[in-house]
Amino acid sequence: MHMAFLRKVNQVLLLLLVLTLCGILYKKVRKGAVLKDKADVDSESPEDMEEEIPVVICAAAGRMGAAMAAINSIYSNTDANLVFYVVGLRSTLPRIRKWIEHSKLREINFKIVEFNPIVLKGKIRPDSSRPELLQPLNFVRFYLPLLVHQHEKVIYLDDDVIVQGDIQELYDTTLALGHAAAFSDDCDLPSAQDIHRLVGLQNTYMGYLDYRKKTIKDLGISPSTCSFNPGVIVANMTEWKHQRITKQLEKWMQKNVEENLYSSSLGGGVATSPMLIVFHGKYSTINPLWHIRHLGWNPDARYSEHFLQEAKLLHWNGRHKPWDFPSVHNDLWESWFVPDPAGIFKLHHNR
């Protein structure tokens, strides 16, 4: 009886020894695998550890086809690792998702972001001359750090653009130390031989701010200072947050509500003017070919074909959009158009 008990004890001890050895072996193998995985990651070249390029673009209800064409042109002209932040109001989010997932855009890497217009309450002055410029999504560019979190550098594009170059080039724009953003200067517009009949264009601060107002005069900015267009932005999120750019922009929006310092009856509408004030003397510049604009300014104005081919990005800013009539160079835009799976958005080239 005593011997049988000892045999049992020995069997249990042997079993425990075997289990202990198995556990030690498993840990060693597991540790080796983890170290190997880590070594594999560490040994990856910078090319393998490809940086993700975030592109922010708004998709508004009445012109959603614009954003989809822009996205299509960007995605088709690069091998870069992109993530599109497609921003819309709550009511449009399901339609945005359907358009992307039920079209040729289904392969893109994207995030749909809701913009809540409550943040604009009390900051926009009613303006009847161009009511479309008061749309909430027009101010998304003011709130980039609230919409995009894990990226140091961000590209923002208006929806009425087409990209013909590799977006990696735009992303590689150098921002000087202390600069939160890069824009395209209005003094960098093409020469007269490249574009015809663009009269009345604003390219100085005088066209955007009311210099009769004391608050504007007190800024000490010369009215002949060259303006810039914020339809294409390369932004540094760390600097943006450090300099509290969003708060500064909101301050000038509120001042405009109180004092009517700028309006869309002047050159640039209500989103450009506060940016001109906040970024005065504190921005880097984008290669001019990465923002060829004013294609929507005048239906009789045309760029030379050679110049259009050289352009990296085309922008139909102005009233005459390429999906509408009348407009110019709409063939370039239409080649990137992605038909609406819901059949709502239609082209109106021939009324």
Residue-wise pLDDT tens digits, 145-167: 999 999 999 999 999 999 999 99
What is the average pLDDT score of the chain? 85
Supply the pLDDT for residue 34.
37
In this prediction, residue 167 carries a pLDDT of 98
pLDDT exceeds cutoff 70 at 1: no
CA–CA separation, 314 vs 328, rounded Å? 12
State mean pLDDT over 180-206: 70
- Span 240-259, average pLDDT: 96
Q: Give 226's pLDDT tier (boundaries 50, 70, 90).
A: very high
Alpha-carbon gap, residue 199 to 298, rounded angstroms: 9
What number of H helices and E strands is found in the chain?
11, 9
pTM of the model: 0.83
Q: Give residue 198's pLDDT.
A: 52
So what's the pLDDT on residue 187?
A: 82
Give the pLDDT of residue 45. 41
Tell which residue, 190, 144, 192, 200, has the closest CA to residue 292: 190
pLDDT-derived band at 319 (thresholds 50, 70, 90) equals confident
Tens of pLDDT, residue by residue over 72-99, are 999 999 999 999 999 999 999 999 999 9
Residue 29 banded pLDDT, cuts 50, 70, 90:
very low
CA distance 188 to 289: 9
CA neighbor of 290 nearest in space, from 206, 213, 234 = 234
- Range of weakest confidence among 13-27, 171-185, 244-258: 13-27
Give residue 192's pLDDT: 42
| Contact criterion met (CB below 8 Å) for 88 and 114 | yes
CA distance 59 to 90: 11
Report the range of poorest mean pLDDT among 23-32, 205-214, 294-303, 334-343. Answer: 23-32
The percent of residues in the chain predicted with pLDDT above 90, rounded, is 64
234: pLDDT strictly greater than 80: yes
pLDDT at 303: 85
Sign of CA dihedral 30, 36, 41, 47: negative
Question: What is the distance between the terminal CA atoms of the chain, rounded to a whole angstrom?
Answer: 106
Is 202:208 a contact under the CB 8 Å cutoff? yes
Give CA–CA dist 11/23, Å, rounded.
Answer: 18
**Is it the case that residue 115 has pLDDT exceeding 80?**
yes
Q: Which residue has the higher pLDDT, 196 or 211?
A: 211
Residue 251 vs residue 28, higher pLDDT: 251
pLDDT (tens digit, 9 = 90+) per residue, 286-312? 999 999 988 988 888 888 888 899 999
Greater model confidence, 307 or 102: 102
Which of 26-30, 77-81, 245-249 shows the lowest mean pLDDT across its residues?
26-30
Q: Return the pLDDT at 304.
A: 87
State whether residue 305 is helix, strand or coil: helix
Q: Determine contact, residues 333/162, Cβ cutoff 8 Å.
A: yes
- The answer to whether residue 23 scores a pLDDT higher than 70 is no
Closest CA to 290 of 171, 152, 140, 141: 171
